[in-house]
Amino acid sequence: MSLAIVLSRAQVGVEAPAVTVETHLANGLPSLTLVGLPEGAVKESKDRV
């Protein structure tokens, strides 16, 4: 199991708080799983990735 950590920023109004994204890298078919309680706009982002 490989774990990649990406440091990024999220736009919230005029501020940009830090965001840490943890990603599990594995062989096989590509997939995307959102953990937690994502809002509707976040769920729609799966279609754009």
Q: Reduced to 3 states, what is the DSSP secondary structure of residue 2?
A: strand
pLDDT for 38 equals: 65
Whole-number Å distance between alpha carbons of 24 and 35:
12
Mean pLDDT in order along the chain per 10 residues (49 residues): 89 92 86 74 70
Whole-number Å distance between alpha carbons of 30 and 37:
22
Query: For residue 11, what are the CA distances in angstroms to 1, 8, 34, 44?
Result: 31, 10, 19, 17
pLDDT for 24 equals: 86
Q: Do residues 21 and 34 make contact, with C-beta atoms less than 8 angstroms apart?
A: no
pLDDT for 36 equals: 74
pLDDT for 31 equals: 81
